[in-house]
Chains A and B, each alone.
Chain A
Amino acid sequence: MTDTIVDEGVDAPAKGAHQAEAATFSGPVMRVVGYIAMVIVFLIVALPLFWIVITSFKQRQDIYTQPAQWWPKNPTTNGYHLATTTIAFWDYFRNSIIITAILSVTKIVLGVISAYALSLLRFPGRTALFLLIIAALMVPNQITVISNYALVSQLGWRNTYQGIIIPLAGVAFGTFLMRNQFLSVPSEIIEAARLDGAGPLKLLWRVVLPMSWPTLIAFSIITVVNEWNEYLWPFLMADDQRVGTLPVGLTQLQQTDGITNWGPVMAATVLAMLPVLILFLALQRHMIKGLTAGAVKG
C-alpha cells in the first residue's frame, strides 16, 4: 500500500554547509556524479509510484502487455469507479481515518508525556520504569495477537472501534524516541526556565517541545503511516465494513483463485495513499523549520 515516503527537499536549507564541503571536491565531474546519483535515487522512488498511477488509469487489456505501455493508450477512470463501487470503499476509508486519527493522537500524546517524565522529572524507580517500557518495545505485536484477541473478545469488543484501537495504543517506540530528544536539550535552558518559575507543564509546552518539533513531526509521520497501513490486527478484529480499515477492505479487490483486475486495485491504492501524502507534504515544511530554528545563539 502506501510506501514509506522518502523526503526530498530537506537539502534546501542545509545547502550552505554542503557547498562548503563540495568545494573541496571541486570541478564539474563531481557535480555531474552528484546529479546522476540524484536522478537514480529519484527514479528508484518515483518509477513504482508512476507505474501505480498510470496503471490505475488503464483499461484492463492494456495492463498486461509486452512491451509495457508507459502511457495509457485508452485512458479511463473506470478503475476508480470500480474500486469505489465494488467494495464499500468510503466506509473503509472513513474507518481508516477515524482509527488512524485516534490512534495517532493517543500515541503521540502518551509518547510525549511519558518521555518527558522519564527524561526531565526525577522520581524513584525512573530507570526501572524506562527499562520496562523499552522491554515492551521489544515484543512485536504479532506475538501478542493471540492473547490480545482472547482478552478483547471476552470484553465483547470484537468488531468495534475500541477493540481495534486500544490494544494498538501501546507506545514504547515514541517514548524511546522522544526521551532521547528531550535529554539532548541543553540543561542550561531547562535550568533557566525553572529559575524563571516555569512549572513542569509550562516547561514542557513552552520550552522543551518547541525545541523538539523536528523529532516530534518525524515521530508523528512514522506513527500515522504505520497506523494507516496496519493490517493484521484490524483484519482479525473487523468482520465487515462497519469497522474494517482500508488495508482490510482492499484485499477484497484481489482474487483468491482467478485473475486480479489490477486497474481497480491500483486505483484504490492511489486513493489510499493520498491522505498520508497530503499530510506529509503539509508537515514537511515544519520539519525543516524545526531543523533550522536554533534555540541557543552560538
Chain B
Amino acid sequence: MTELTRRGFLGAAGGAALATGLAACAGTGGSSSSSGGGGGGNSNTIDFWSNHPGTSKTTELQLIAAFEKANPGLKVKLTDAGKSYEDAAQKFNAALAGGSLPDVVVASDVTWFNFALNNRFADVGALFQQNGLSTTDYVDGLYADYLYQGKHYAIPYARSTVVFYYNKNVFKKAGIPDRSPESWDEFTSWAPKLQAAIGSGKSALILDDGSDYLDWTFQSIVWSYGGAYSTGWTPTFTDPKTIHAANVLQGWAKSKYMKTSADSSSDFGAGLGAVLLESTGDLGGFKDLNFDLGVGFVPAPGGVKTCPTGGAGLAIPSGISADRQNNAAKFVAFMTDPANTATFTQATGYMPVRKSALELPQEKAYLAANPSYDVAVKQLPYTRPQDYARVFVPGGGAMIGQALDKIVAGSDVTSTFKSLNGSITSAYDSQVKPLLKS
C-alpha cells in the first residue's frame, strides 16, 4: 500500500477532519425522557448514584444486599458519583442533558434546591404517600430541610450537625472548665490561656477555610451573635450583628488564636489546635488520638438555636417513569428505615434520621457506650435550618466562603460584606427569582 491515490487520500483526510470535528463539538441530543424515562433504564434495576458520604461504600453495599434479599424482583446498582456532593451534582447535571438518569441520587444541603427549583426532582412526599410509606417518623427538622412550597424534595440520609470538639488535655493545662463555652465571647476570654497552654506554632481554635465549608460552620457563630446571612431571600451581611460576628472572627485571626485549614480535622487530630468546630461526620475519624477528646454543644447564649444542620439527602429525579419512581421510593424508605439509619450512622458518625431509631435497643446501647455520638443526637432539638443565602442561592456557599477567607486574611469586614451582599443579590435575581412561583 505504498501507492496512495489522490482521491483515496482526499477521502481519508475528509474522514479524519470529520472525526476531529465530531470529537470537538458533538451535537446535543435532547433528553430522551419519552423512552421509558431517559436512557432506557430498566424499571427493575434501581440505579443509585452516591458519593458514599463518610466513606460509607461498604455500608451502602451491605444495606443494598439486604434490600435485594427483601425484594427479590428488584436489583440495585451502586454507581460512584465522585468524591464530593458537588461532584455528584455535576454528574447528575450531565445526565439531565443526556438522559440515562439515575433512580436515586445523593443531594446535599447546598445542591438539592437548584434541582428542585428547576423541577428536576420529584416530590418524594407524594411518592411516599402513593406507595403507602410514611414520612412522619423522620426527624422533623431534618425532613423540613427539603421543604419548598409545600413539597419535599429529598429524604434525609447522611445528615450531620456542627459540634464543638475540644482537646481536654489542653483545657486542663490551661485551667479551663471541661465544657464547651456558653458563648463565643466566653471563648474569646479563654483564648489567651488556651494559646499559652498549647504553645506557639499551634492555635487555640482551628476552623475550616473558605474552600472547605467555613461558610457552613461560621453560621453557628453568626447566629450566636444574633446575626444571619439572610432573612428569607434578603441577604443580611451588612446587618450590624453579622458584621460584629465577622469582626470577632477577624479579631481571633489577628491575635493569632485561630488558623483556618483545608484539612482542619486532621490538624486538630494531630494536636495542632485546642478547639475545632466541625461536622459530627468527623467523629468516626477521631480514632487513636494522643489526647482525650471532648465533644460539646456549639455555644448558644440564651438558648438561641445556633446549630446548623448539613449533609445530604436522597432525591428521586422527576424525569423517570412512574414505575421507576415507585421502586426508588421503596428503596429510599428502606435505606432510611430505623434499623438501617442506625447501622449507617454507627459506621459513619452521621445522625440517625428517624425518631424511632433512638428507641432501638442496639442504638441505645451504642449511644451509651459512645457518649460523644450522644452529644450530637441530644443537640438535634437545637438545630435550625440554614440561611437561604448559603443553601438556596446558586454558588452562594462558595461566595460566602471566599469572603470569609478574605476577612480572615485581614480585609475590611464592612466593605467585603457589602460587596458579598451585592453578588448574592445578583445571583438570586438572575438565577432564582425568575423561577420562583410566587
Chain A positions within 8 Å of B, measured between CB atoms, are: 60-61, 63-66, 110, 113-114, 117, 121, 123, 129, 132-133, 135-136, 139, 144-154, 156, 158, 166-172, 175, 199-202, 235-236, 238-240, 244, 248, 251-252, 254-262
CA distance A27 to B78 in the complex (A): 68
Interface membership of B242, Cβ < 8 A: no
Q: Which of B25-71 contact A (CB under 8 A)?
A: 25-32, 39-40, 47, 51-55, 57
Distance in angstroms between the alpha carbons of A113 and B27 in the assembled complex: 26
B435 at the interface (CB under 8 A from A): no
A259 touches B282 (CB 8 A): yes
What is the chain A residue whose CB lies nearest that of B40?
A156
Contact residues in A for B282 (Cβ distance below 8 Å):
257-259
Q: How far is the CA of A140 from the CA of B29 in the complex (A)?
A: 20
Q: Within the assembled complex, what's the spacing in Å between the Cα atoms of A236 and B24?
A: 17
A123 x B6 contact (CB < 8 A): yes
Alpha-carbon gap, A239 to B81, bound state (A): 7
Question: Given A133-B20, A240-B80, are A154 and B9 also a contact pair (CB < 8 Å)?
Answer: no
Are the CB atoms of A252 and B83 closer together than 8 Å? Answer: yes
Which residue of chain B is the closest to A123 with respect to CB atoms? Answer: B10
Stretch binding the partner chain, chosen from B95-103, B366-374, B395-403: B95-103
CB <8 Å contact, A235 and B82: yes
Question: Nearest 6 pairs between A and B by C-beta?
Answer: A170-B23, A64-B270, A259-B285, A257-B281, A251-B83, A150-B98
The verdict on A256 contacting B20 (CB below 8 Å), with A123-B9, A154-B32 known, is no
Chain A residues lying within 8 Å of B304, measured Cβ to Cβ, are none
Residue B409 at the chain A interface, CB threshold 8 Å: no
- Given A154-B29, A200-B4, A236-B94, decide whether A257 and B279 contact each other with a Cβ distance below 8 A: yes
Given the interface contacts A171-B20, A201-B1, A259-B286, does A150 sit within 8 Å of B29 by beta carbon?
yes
Query: Of B122-130, B168-176, B183-191, B261-269, which binds chain A?
Result: B261-269
Chain B residues, CB < 8 A from A123 = 6, 9-10, 13
Size class of the contact patch on chain B: 35 or more
With a cutoff of 8 Å between Cβ atoms, the chain B residues found around residue A110 in the complex are 16, 19
Query: By the criterion CB–CB under 8 Å, are A259 and B91 in contact?
Result: no
A206 and B273 CA atoms in complex are apart in Å by: 66
A132-B21, A147-B26 known, 13 other contacts, Cβ within 8 Å: A66-B201, A136-B23, A139-B25, A147-B25, A150-B99, A154-B99, A167-B26, A171-B20, A236-B94, A256-B85, A258-B283, A259-B269, A262-B266
Complex contact A251–B29 (CB within 8 A): no
The prevalent SS among residues of A at the interface is helix
Q: Select B52's contact among A64, A153, A248, A252, beta carbons within 8 Å.
A: A252
Q: Is B362 an interface residue (CB 8 A)?
A: no
Residues of chain A within 8 A of B272, CB atoms compared: 64, 66
Kindly list chain A residues whose C-beta atoms are within 8 Å of the C-beta of B430.
Answer: none
Residues of A within 8 A of B85 (CB): 256
Contact (Cβ within 8 A) B266 A248: no
Most buried by B among A123, A149, A244, A260: A149
By the criterion CB–CB under 8 Å, are A117 and B80 in contact? Answer: no
Do A146 and B87 have beta carbons less than 8 Å apart? no
Chain A positions within 8 Å of B98 at CB level: 146, 149-154
State whether the Cβ of B17 lies closer than 8 Å to any Cβ in chain A: yes
A196 and B21 alpha carbons, distance in the complex (Å)? 37
Contacts of A150 in B (CB 8 A): 26-31, 97-99
Bound together, the chains give a CA A172 to CA B17 distance in angstroms of 10
Please name the residue on chain A nearest to B28 by beta carbon: A147
B359 within 8 A of partner (CB) = no
For A262, the closest partner residue in chain B by CB is: B266
Residues of A within 8 A of B78 (CB): 240
- Cα distance, A60 to B6, chains bound together (Å): 65
For A113, list chain B residues within 8 Å (CB).
16
